[in-house]
Chain A
Amino acid sequence: QVTLKESGPGILQPSQTLSLTCTFSGFSLSTYGMGVGWIRQPSGKGLEWLANIWWDDDKYYNPSLKNRLTISKDTSNNQAFLKITNVDTADTATYYCALTIAAISTLFDYWGQGVMVTVSS
Protein backbone atom coordinates (compact mmCIF):
# COMPACT_ATOMS: atom_id res chain seq x y z
CA GLN A 1 0.00 0.00 0.00
CA VAL A 2 1.36 3.37 -1.05
CA THR A 3 1.26 6.23 1.43
CA LEU A 4 2.79 9.70 1.36
CA LYS A 5 2.84 12.27 4.14
CA GLU A 6 4.09 15.81 4.02
CA SER A 7 5.61 17.65 6.95
CA GLY A 8 6.73 21.24 7.38
CA PRO A 9 7.18 24.08 9.86
CA GLY A 10 3.55 25.25 9.90
CA ILE A 11 4.41 28.90 10.14
CA LEU A 12 7.48 30.90 9.18
CA GLN A 13 8.45 34.50 8.62
CA PRO A 14 9.08 36.35 5.37
CA SER A 15 12.59 35.92 3.93
CA GLN A 16 13.08 32.57 5.70
CA THR A 17 13.62 29.24 3.95
CA LEU A 18 10.76 26.77 3.84
CA SER A 19 11.80 23.15 4.19
CA LEU A 20 9.26 20.45 3.38
CA THR A 21 9.60 16.69 3.73
CA CYS A 22 7.58 13.99 1.99
CA THR A 23 7.85 10.65 3.79
CA PHE A 24 6.53 7.71 1.83
CA SER A 25 6.06 3.97 2.02
CA GLY A 26 5.04 1.18 -0.31
CA PHE A 27 7.48 2.04 -3.06
CA SER A 28 11.11 2.90 -3.71
CA LEU A 29 12.15 6.08 -5.40
CA SER A 30 15.08 4.19 -6.89
CA THR A 31 12.71 2.08 -9.03
CA TYR A 32 12.66 2.89 -12.74
CA GLY A 33 9.85 5.27 -13.62
CA MET A 34 9.17 6.51 -10.11
CA GLY A 35 9.00 10.20 -9.34
CA VAL A 36 7.81 12.59 -6.65
CA GLY A 37 6.39 15.99 -7.34
CA TRP A 38 5.39 18.97 -5.23
CA ILE A 39 2.21 20.92 -5.90
CA ARG A 40 0.75 23.75 -3.84
CA GLN A 41 -2.67 25.30 -3.39
CA PRO A 42 -3.44 28.61 -1.70
CA SER A 43 -6.62 28.45 0.32
CA GLY A 44 -9.67 28.51 -1.95
CA LYS A 45 -7.55 28.64 -5.10
CA GLY A 46 -6.21 26.33 -7.76
CA LEU A 47 -3.21 24.03 -8.07
CA GLU A 48 0.32 25.06 -8.98
CA TRP A 49 3.04 22.55 -9.90
CA LEU A 50 6.39 23.39 -8.28
CA ALA A 51 8.96 20.68 -8.94
CA ASN A 52 9.54 17.02 -9.74
CA ILE A 53 12.34 14.56 -9.07
CA TRP A 54 12.71 11.22 -10.85
CA TRP A 55 14.22 7.87 -9.91
CA ASP A 56 17.41 8.75 -11.83
CA ASP A 57 17.72 12.07 -9.93
CA ASP A 58 16.55 14.09 -12.90
CA LYS A 59 14.90 17.27 -11.62
CA TYR A 60 12.41 19.74 -13.07
CA TYR A 61 11.36 23.07 -11.64
CA ASN A 62 8.69 25.68 -12.27
CA PRO A 63 10.70 28.72 -13.41
CA SER A 64 8.00 31.07 -12.11
CA LEU A 65 9.58 30.67 -8.68
CA LYS A 66 12.77 32.16 -10.02
CA ASN A 67 15.40 29.69 -8.80
CA ARG A 68 14.06 29.65 -5.25
CA LEU A 69 13.32 25.92 -5.38
CA THR A 70 15.50 22.94 -4.59
CA ILE A 71 14.14 19.39 -4.76
CA SER A 72 16.04 16.37 -3.49
CA LYS A 73 15.53 12.82 -2.27
CA ASP A 74 16.89 10.33 0.25
CA THR A 75 16.12 6.97 -1.27
CA SER A 76 17.43 4.94 1.65
CA ASN A 77 15.06 6.69 4.07
CA ASN A 78 12.10 6.93 1.68
CA GLN A 79 11.93 10.71 1.71
CA ALA A 80 11.77 13.57 -0.73
CA PHE A 81 12.38 17.21 0.10
CA LEU A 82 11.58 20.66 -1.19
CA LYS A 83 13.22 23.88 -0.12
CA ILE A 84 11.87 27.30 -1.01
CA THR A 85 14.13 30.20 -0.18
CA ASN A 86 13.19 33.80 0.63
CA VAL A 87 9.50 33.09 1.26
CA ASP A 88 6.83 35.76 1.41
CA THR A 89 3.10 35.82 2.09
CA ALA A 90 2.38 34.63 -1.45
CA ASP A 91 3.91 31.28 -0.49
CA THR A 92 1.16 30.66 2.06
CA ALA A 93 -0.57 27.50 0.84
CA THR A 94 -1.21 23.83 1.36
CA TYR A 95 1.70 21.87 -0.09
CA TYR A 96 1.19 18.39 -1.50
CA CYS A 97 3.66 15.75 -2.57
CA ALA A 98 2.52 13.27 -5.19
CA LEU A 99 3.95 10.03 -6.54
CA THR A 100 4.28 8.99 -10.17
CA ILE A 101 4.84 5.29 -10.78
CA ALA A 102 5.31 5.02 -14.54
CA ALA A 103 7.31 8.05 -15.56
CA ILE A 104 5.43 10.96 -17.05
CA SER A 105 2.78 8.75 -18.63
CA THR A 106 0.68 8.30 -15.52
CA LEU A 107 1.80 11.32 -13.43
CA PHE A 108 0.71 11.88 -9.84
CA ASP A 109 -0.90 8.49 -9.20
CA TYR A 110 -0.92 9.00 -5.42
CA TRP A 111 -1.08 12.14 -3.27
CA GLY A 112 -0.29 12.95 0.31
CA GLN A 113 -2.80 14.65 2.60
CA GLY A 114 -1.03 18.01 2.27
CA VAL A 115 0.61 20.28 4.81
CA MET A 116 -0.48 23.85 5.49
CA VAL A 117 2.22 26.49 5.49
CA THR A 118 1.65 30.07 6.59
CA VAL A 119 4.13 32.85 5.96
CA SER A 120 3.51 35.73 8.32
CA SER A 121 5.47 38.34 10.20
Chain B
Amino acid sequence: DVVLTQTPSILSATIGQSVSISCRSSQSLLDSDGNTYLYWFLQRPGQSPQRLIYLVSNLGSGVPNRFSGSGSGTDFTLKISGVEAEDLGVYYCMQATHAPWTFGGGTKLELK
Protein backbone atom coordinates (compact mmCIF):
# COMPACT_ATOMS: atom_id res chain seq x y z
CA ASP B 1 0.00 0.00 0.00
CA VAL B 2 1.08 3.60 -0.60
CA VAL B 3 2.16 5.29 2.62
CA LEU B 4 1.56 9.03 2.91
CA THR B 5 3.73 10.71 5.53
CA GLN B 6 2.55 14.11 6.72
CA THR B 7 4.80 16.58 8.51
CA PRO B 8 4.57 18.13 10.94
CA SER B 9 2.09 16.12 12.98
CA ILE B 10 1.24 19.21 15.02
CA LEU B 11 1.46 22.76 13.75
CA SER B 12 1.06 25.76 16.04
CA ALA B 13 0.22 29.05 14.38
CA THR B 14 -1.03 32.52 15.16
CA ILE B 15 -3.94 34.09 13.32
CA GLY B 16 -2.67 35.63 10.12
CA GLN B 17 0.44 33.47 9.94
CA SER B 18 1.16 31.52 6.76
CA VAL B 19 1.84 27.81 7.22
CA SER B 20 2.64 24.76 5.11
CA ILE B 21 1.96 21.06 5.54
CA SER B 22 3.99 18.43 3.72
CA CYS B 23 2.68 15.13 2.39
CA ARG B 24 5.29 12.69 1.11
CA SER B 25 4.30 9.52 -0.72
CA SER B 26 6.13 6.18 -0.74
CA GLN B 27 5.45 5.95 -4.50
CA SER B 28 4.92 8.41 -7.29
CA LEU B 29 1.28 9.49 -7.49
CA LEU B 30 1.45 10.34 -11.20
CA ASP B 31 -1.07 8.07 -12.90
CA SER B 32 -0.64 6.58 -16.36
CA ASP B 33 -3.51 8.84 -17.52
CA GLY B 34 -1.42 11.91 -16.69
CA ASN B 35 -3.38 12.89 -13.59
CA THR B 36 -2.09 12.94 -10.02
CA TYR B 37 -4.85 11.85 -7.65
CA LEU B 38 -3.80 13.71 -4.52
CA TYR B 39 -6.38 15.44 -2.31
CA TRP B 40 -6.44 17.48 0.89
CA PHE B 41 -9.14 17.37 3.56
CA LEU B 42 -9.81 19.36 6.73
CA GLN B 43 -11.60 17.90 9.71
CA ARG B 44 -12.67 20.57 12.17
CA PRO B 45 -13.22 19.49 15.79
CA GLY B 46 -16.37 17.42 16.11
CA GLN B 47 -17.14 17.64 12.39
CA SER B 48 -16.94 15.44 9.32
CA PRO B 49 -14.00 15.92 6.99
CA GLN B 50 -14.41 18.33 4.10
CA ARG B 51 -12.40 18.26 0.89
CA LEU B 52 -10.31 21.36 0.25
CA ILE B 53 -8.23 20.48 -2.79
CA TYR B 54 -8.40 17.88 -5.54
CA LEU B 55 -5.86 16.78 -8.14
CA VAL B 56 -2.98 18.41 -6.20
CA SER B 57 -3.85 22.05 -6.72
CA ASN B 58 -7.53 22.53 -7.62
CA LEU B 59 -9.56 24.41 -5.03
CA GLY B 60 -12.89 22.87 -4.14
CA SER B 61 -16.11 24.82 -4.48
CA GLY B 62 -16.48 27.38 -1.69
CA VAL B 63 -12.94 26.86 -0.37
CA PRO B 64 -11.21 30.18 0.42
CA ASN B 65 -8.33 31.07 -1.86
CA ARG B 66 -5.94 31.36 1.09
CA PHE B 67 -5.60 27.59 0.64
CA SER B 68 -3.32 26.35 -2.10
CA GLY B 69 -1.85 23.02 -3.06
CA SER B 70 1.27 22.18 -4.98
CA GLY B 71 3.69 19.38 -5.72
CA SER B 72 4.30 16.46 -8.01
CA GLY B 73 5.47 12.88 -7.98
CA THR B 74 6.00 12.04 -4.34
CA ASP B 75 6.13 15.45 -2.62
CA PHE B 76 3.12 17.64 -2.02
CA THR B 77 2.36 20.73 0.04
CA LEU B 78 -0.73 22.43 1.36
CA LYS B 79 -0.23 26.11 2.15
CA ILE B 80 -2.52 28.39 4.11
CA SER B 81 -1.73 32.04 3.43
CA GLY B 82 -2.98 33.75 6.56
CA VAL B 83 -4.48 31.30 9.04
CA GLU B 84 -7.95 32.14 10.29
CA ALA B 85 -9.65 30.71 13.37
CA GLU B 86 -11.97 28.54 11.26
CA ASP B 87 -8.92 26.77 9.76
CA LEU B 88 -8.09 24.98 13.00
CA GLY B 89 -8.45 21.21 12.94
CA VAL B 90 -6.74 18.19 11.43
CA TYR B 91 -5.58 18.17 7.81
CA TYR B 92 -5.29 14.93 5.85
CA CYS B 93 -3.80 14.23 2.46
CA MET B 94 -5.17 11.30 0.49
CA GLN B 95 -4.14 9.47 -2.68
CA ALA B 96 -6.29 7.58 -5.14
CA THR B 97 -3.72 6.80 -7.80
CA HIS B 98 -2.92 3.39 -6.36
CA ALA B 99 -5.29 0.87 -4.83
CA PRO B 100 -6.11 0.83 -2.01
CA TRP B 101 -6.73 4.54 -1.58
CA THR B 102 -4.88 5.77 1.49
CA PHE B 103 -4.82 8.76 3.82
CA GLY B 104 -1.90 10.43 5.52
CA GLY B 105 -1.73 10.33 9.30
CA GLY B 106 -2.95 13.89 9.70
CA THR B 107 -1.57 17.27 10.77
CA LYS B 108 -3.25 19.05 13.63
CA LEU B 109 -3.31 22.83 13.23
CA GLU B 110 -3.70 24.59 16.55
CA LEU B 111 -3.45 28.11 17.87
CA LYS B 112 -0.14 29.15 19.34
A-B contacts, 24 of them at CB < 8 A, read: A39-B49, A46-B103, A46-B104, A46-B106, A47-B41, A47-B43, A47-B49, A47-B92, A48-B103, A49-B100, A49-B102, A61-B100, A63-B99, A63-B100, A64-B100, A104-B37, A106-B51, A106-B54, A107-B39, A107-B94, A108-B51, A111-B48, A113-B48, A114-B48
Residue from B43, B50, B51, B104 in contact with A107 in the complex, judged by beta carbons closer than 8 Å: B51
Q: Give the chain A neighbours of B106 by CB distance below 8 A.
A: 46-47
Interface centre among B49, B61, B105 (most CB of A within 10 A): B49
A1 within 8 A of B: no
Q: Encode B72-112 as 1/0 by CB contact (under 8 A) with A.
A: 00000000000000000000101010011111111000000
Query: Does the CB pair B49–A49 fall under 8 Å?
Result: no
Residue from B51, B54, B100 in contact with A62 in the complex, judged by beta carbons closer than 8 Å: B100
- B interface: dominant SS: loop
Given contact pairs A105-B54, A109-B60, a sample of 14 additional A-B residue pairs in the complex whose CB atoms are under 8 Å apart = A46-B92, A49-B94, A49-B100, A49-B101, A63-B99, A105-B55, A106-B54, A107-B37, A107-B39, A107-B51, A107-B94, A107-B96, A109-B51, A109-B61
Nearest CB of B to A48, in Å: 7
Cα A52 to Cα B100 in complex, Å, equals 11
Query: Does the CB pair A111–B1 fall under 8 Å?
Result: no
Q: Give the chain B neighbours of A64 by CB distance below 8 A.
A: 1, 100
Cα A75 to Cα B50 in complex, Å, equals 24
Query: Does the CB pair B49–A111 fall under 8 Å?
Result: yes
B35 within 8 A of A: yes
Q: Which 10 residue pairs spanning A and B have beta carbons closest together?
A: A111-B48, A62-B100, A49-B101, A47-B103, A106-B54, A46-B106, A108-B51, A46-B105, A114-B48, A107-B39
Cα A65 to Cα B44 in complex, Å, equals 28
